[in-house]
């Protein structure tokens, strides 16, 4: 049987291609596919990666079938490494808000302002079961880095940290954490408000809401002027 294998991030570079077709014996499992890929490459494929089958996370023992689409997903921990002026990142682990806030503080700071976006139990009168977040990860990290740099420059704050959760989130879990540290509270408040408002409009992260009575993709904030493409207009206007 043949399956389609998609790889992302550093795995794409290591495997030499973002997409390939692999032939496997009937009854092969996810573990068998990884063993096959290991045998074809000098460096072993690390077992710390996640694997999806047809868009759903899969265990090593899951059996594959003809035509399956398998995703090889490196850990998402990305963005700027932690440093004094802050950092940005995506994670599929629970966000430890207390630890991140404490690590942001320094003696010269007079204020630390925090936005902690939390999954609530209802939206527009509908009972929420859980949320799923996904992102165009390389672009999201790039945009988050740019926002942090703009906030430090424009508002004159010392430290900006932005962390966004991906994957499935339960009620009460943090989806996004923004921490701004500054000598003065006014700049810290202004920067934090600007960051969350702008992140919602420009960073490519999407939310799917699962309710007791259905599932919907949450309507996004409008893109900033000049960013969005009018698909209908693009089809009808002649190219110059």
The whole model's pTM is what? Answer: 0.66
CATH 3.10.20.30 for domain 2-73: yes
Q: Which of the pair, 36 or 214, is modelled with greater confidence?
A: 214
Domains 2-73 and 86-217 share a fold: no
pLDDT at 71: 85
Nearest to 172 by CA among 234, 226, 117: 117
Confidence category of residue 229, pLDDT binned at 50, 70, 90: very low
**Whole-number mean pLDDT of the chain?**
85
Which residues, in sequence order, are CB contacts of 1 under 8 Å at separation 6+? Answer: 23, 24, 25, 26, 28, 64, 65, 66, 67
Q: What are phi and psi of 55, to 5 degrees?
A: 85, 5
Q: Which of the pair, 80 or 105, is modelled with greater confidence?
A: 105
Q: 117-137, pLDDT tens digit by residue? A: 999 999 989 999 999 999 888
What is the chain's alpha carbon radius of gyration, rounded to the nearest angstrom?
21
- What's the mean pLDDT in 38-46? 59
CB distance 45 to 5 below 8 Å: no
Domain boundaries, the chain: 2-73, 86-217
pLDDT at 83: 75
Other CB atoms within a 10 A radius of the CB of residue 101 amount to: 17
Long-range CB contact pairs, 72-76, < 8 A, 24+: 72/5, 72/6, 72/7, 72/8, 72/11, 72/15, 72/45, 73/8, 73/9, 73/11, 73/49, 74/8, 74/9, 74/10, 74/11, 74/49, 75/48, 75/49, 75/50, 76/137, 76/166
Q: Which CATH architecture has domain 86-217?
A: Alpha-Beta Complex (3.90)
Exposure string over 67-100, b if 16+ CB within 10 A, otherwise e = ebebbbbbebebbbeeeeebbbbbbbeebeeeeb
CA distance 109 to 89: 23
pLDDT at 64: 96
Q: What are phi and psi of 128, to 5 degrees?
A: -90, 135
**pLDDT(205) > 60:** yes
Q: 57-100, pLDDT tens digit by residue? A: 788 899 999 999 998 876 554 566 667 899 999 998 899 999 99
**pLDDT(55) > 90:** no
Alpha-carbon torsion (228, 234, 236, 240), positive or negative: positive
């Amino acid at each position: 049987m043949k399956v389609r294998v998609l790889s992302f991030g550093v795995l794409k570079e290591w495997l030499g291609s973002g997409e390939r077709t692999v032939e496997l014996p009937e009854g092969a499992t996810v573990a068998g596919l990884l063993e096959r890929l290991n045998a074809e490459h000098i460096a072993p494929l690390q077992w710390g990666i996640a694997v999806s089958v047809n868009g759903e996370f899969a265990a090593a023992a899951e059996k594959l079938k003809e035509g399956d689409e398998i995703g090889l997903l490196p850990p998402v921990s990305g963005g700027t490494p932690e440093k004094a002026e802050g950092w940005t990142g995506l994670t599929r682990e629970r966000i430890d808000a207390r630890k991140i806030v404490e690590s942001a503080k320094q003696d010269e700071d007079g204020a630390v302002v925090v936005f902690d976006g939390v999954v609530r139990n209802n939206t527009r009168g509908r009972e929420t079961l859980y949320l799923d977040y996904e992102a165009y990860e390389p672009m999201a990290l790039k945009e988050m880095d740019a926002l942090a740099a703009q906030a430090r420059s424009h508002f004159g704050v010392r430290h900006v940290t932005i962390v966004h959760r991906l994957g499935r989130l339960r009620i009460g879990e943090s989806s996004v954490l923004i921490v701004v540290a500054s000598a003065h509270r006014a700049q810290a408040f202004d920067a934090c408000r600007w960051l969350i408002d702008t992140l919602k409009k420009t960073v490519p992260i999407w939310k799917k809401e699962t309710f007791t009575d259905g599932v919907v993709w949450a309507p996004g904030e409008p893109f900033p002027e000049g960013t969005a493409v009018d698909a209908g207009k693009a089809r009808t206007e002649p190219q110059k």
